[in-house]
Amino acid sequence: MKLIVGLGNPGVQYEWSRHNVGFRVVDRLAEISRIFICAKRFKTLFGKGRIDSEEVVLIKPITFMNLSGEGVRKTANFFHLGIEDIIVIHDDIDLPFGRLRFKRKGGDGGHQGVRSIIESLGENAFLRLKVGVGRPPKEMDPANYVLAPFNPTERSDLDAIISRGAEAVVVLLREGINVAMNRYQRKNGTSQA
């Protein structure tokens, strides 16, 4: 069983923000896998089902970003899952818009949600799928940038990026990390057939 965590902030005011791209990828995974994320438990919304042959729990913490770790820890403990069973999907301002990158271990990169998960789990060896949202303009505070909505140009490409992120997770589960990395971390952002 894998625990797949989408990071974001609750509330309609953040629905289209860059910080909520993790929520959107998990929502797309739920949609293509027919998993309903509707149960409320452990300060998360979650749904349980299968992606191909892998049993999964999809969660969206309903605390704000800087408290995400509590729900992740409680859900992982309830299902007796280890650090190797956790996949966290989140935005990354250090990646160009639309780029995907898998990473295991490492620091939080300034991401409050990832920091909260590391602190709550007491280790950092969980797998992450980072979704690039690009750098803020020089005059803009990064915190304000990630809480702002995608601009109209980005919005026109967002659906394809969200779908590609969900596909990357499916390939990860089906064919392993090396295949997923080779297929979805390409510079031009396109996946191979």
* Positions marked catalytic: 19
Chain CA centroid to CA 126, Å: 12
d(CA 175, CA 59): 22
Which residue from 3, 169, 1 is spatially nearest to 76, judged by alpha carbons? 3
Tally of residues, the chain? 193
Tokens of 142: 């990064």
**C-alpha span between 20 and 62 (Å, rounded):** 12
Instruction: Please give the span between the terminal C-alpha atoms of the chain, in angstroms, as a whole number.
Output: 27
